[in-house]
Amino acid sequence: MAFIPFGGFAHSAEVFINVERQRGSAVRIAILNFTLRNTENAIPDIEKMGVIAERIVTFDLNFSGHFEIIDNKQMIKDIIDKEIKSGKTDWQAWKDLGADAIIYGEYYANQNKEIVVEGRVYDVERKEQIAGTKYTGTPNVFRKMVHRFSDQIVYLFSGERGIAETNLAFTTRIKGFKELAVSDYDGHNVAQLTNDKSIVLFPSWSPSANWILYTTYRKNNPDLYMLDIEKGEHVVISKKIGINTSATWSPDGKKIVFTMSTRGNSDLFSVDFKGKNLSRLTSTRSIETSPTFSPDGKQIAYVSDISGSPQIYIMDADGNKKERFTYIGNYNADPSWSPRGDMIAFSGILDNNFNLHVRRVDGRFEKQLTIYQGSNESPTWSPDGRHIAFTSTRNGTQQIFICNSTGTNQTQITFLNGEAFGPAWAPKTRD
């Protein structure tokens, strides 16, 4: 025997994964329409929710990047029709379709006018249920319940927390003003957060996702405020005359780093979350802005035009050891450090348009994610570090898009009459 198990585990199975084995695809899943189990307790439009649930799960799982979704709806329908006739599950048909797993749900309204969703995941090979969860909630959280089911499927197949329940904050134009808004990660459930009748910019979530920092011209000066989302309270962090803008939280939530101007020149400063203990991080004659922390909190990437053009630099969190990070192109801005720590996303000008890039922090790899699709800027990472949200003008107005960190699956998620731009992805699901 080649191996003695470490640590004296008595029971285990061994698998040998051959090098030639790789199938070249992720787990293939078939997602079925959710079935309304009964109509005893009527809720308006309950019949339509099955299709909506199927769409939500399909969007979530497809976007997660962990799966290959079987999108042959006709074949799926044919199998289901046959199953209805015969009254039993045709496992062989699902296997022939190429499915490794089936996602299926039933739902109904209970006596409290709540919706109950029972989601199940089946192993086609073994003809058995892998997981099953029942979700109960009021109709207004129906989408959230289904998103949670999606995240559980993601966890089941990847061991990682999904992002389907996360939120995005961004600026949107309402009645000619720019206000702060929040939505689900898929662009649904948009809600307005400020009513300043002014210009509100640069949202940044606290690590707990309970507060959002933003800059507002409410009092005719770009001041830095913090919004307590639960209470709806807006607190001043910095309102020095001049600019107080583009703030970011340290990953431990203790510090806020932002751009402030002194004698007309912008530099980076840090304060605690009460706006006290101001300390200066940069002191140059050039402009320093757009700070973003590394997930370990030890470094900050930011933009400086000290070289003559805006470029991205990295320094220690205390302001020491400044090093230039970008060299290609003469305008690189909007850095966003991946929660995994290995990448920085940013936007750079090419042919008069901004385009998204990701670059490894060690510089070994860089990729341009967008090209010839309008202007693409303000990247922000999903908490799992697998996705990026950004602003794009490719369809006319500024709207929010999301994509994988490799640039695939670029999907428009906001379709607002006013524009939507400058997204900030919440670092975790709000509890």
Partner 1 sequence: MNLQTEPVLRRKSPADSIDTFIKACIYSLSLHVVIIIAVIIASLFKPAFIKKPTQESYAVHLIDPGPLSTATTTLVKEKTNRKTDKFEAPSKSKIPSKQIAPVESKVSTKTADAVEKKSVEKEIKKEDEAAAAQLNKQKTGGTIDIKKFPYEWYLIAMETKIYGNWDTLMVTTLSSSTIRVLIYFQIDKNGKLKAVKVEESSNDEFIDKSALEAVKMSEPFPPLPPGYKEDILEVHFGFKITSRH
Q: 61 to 120, contacts with partner 1 by CB under 8 A?
A: 66, 80, 83-84, 87-89, 100-102, 104, 106, 108, 114, 118, 120
**Residue whose CB is less far from partner 1, 280 or 340:** 340
**Residue whose CB is less far from partner 1, 134 or 394:** 134
- The whole-angstrom separation of Cα 26 and Cα 160 is 15
**Residue whose CB is less far from partner 1, 351 or 362:** 362
On whether the CB atoms of residues 169 and 193 are closer than 8 A, the answer is: yes
Residue 96 carries which DSSP code? H
Select from 176-184, 281-289, 310-318, 323-331 the region that touches partner 1 (CB under 8 A).
176-184
Should residue 287 be labelled a site residue for partner 1 when binding is judged by CB under 8 A?
A: no
Window 7 to 66, contacts with partner 1 (CB under 8 A)? 7, 9-23, 25-27, 32, 35-40, 66
Should residue 312 be labelled a site residue for partner 1 when binding is judged by CB under 8 A?
A: no
Minimum CB separation of residue 316 from partner 1 in Å reads: 25
Instruction: Indicate which single residue of 59, 63, 107, 135 sits in contact with partner 1 (rule: CB under 8 A).
Output: 135
# residues near partner 1 by CB under 8 A: 102
Minimum CB separation of residue 138 from partner 1 in Å reads: 5
Window 390 to 419, contacts with partner 1 (CB under 8 A)? 416-418
- Quote the tokens at residue 155: 């966890």
Minimum CB separation of residue 380 from partner 1 in Å reads: 19
- The whole-angstrom separation of Cα 206 and Cα 250 is 8
Which residue, among 83, 158, 166, 156, has the nearest Cα to 121 in the 3D structure? 156
- Quote the tokens at residue 222: 């770009």
Instruction: Indicate which single residue of 232, 264, 308, 396 sits in contact with partner 1 (rule: CB under 8 A).
Output: 232
Site string for partner 1, 330-369 (x = CB under 8 A): ----------------------------------xx----
On whether the CB atoms of residues 137 and 118 are closer than 8 A, the answer is: no
Should residue 235 be labelled a site residue for partner 1 when binding is judged by CB under 8 A?
A: no
Select from 161-169, 254-262, 306-314, 321-329 the region that touches partner 1 (CB under 8 A).
161-169
- The whole-angstrom separation of Cα 383 and Cα 397 is 27
Burial 350-375 (b: 16+ CB within 10 A, else e): beebbbbbbbebeeeeeeebbeebbb
Strand order in the sheet with 387-392: 376-381, 387-392, 399-404, 411-412
**Residue whose CB is less far from partner 1, 27 or 350:** 27
**Residue whose CB is less far from partner 1, 218 or 322:** 218
Instruction: Indicate which single residue of 46, 141, 201, 235 sits in contact with partner 1 (rule: CB under 8 A).
Output: 141
Longest dimension (CA), the chain: 80
**Residue whose CB is less far from partner 1, 49 or 333:** 49
On whether the CB atoms of residues 54 and 34 are closer than 8 A, the answer is: yes
- The whole-angstrom separation of Cα 110 and Cα 312 is 55
Angle at Cα 212 formed by Cα 206 and Cα 217, nearest 5°?
Answer: 140
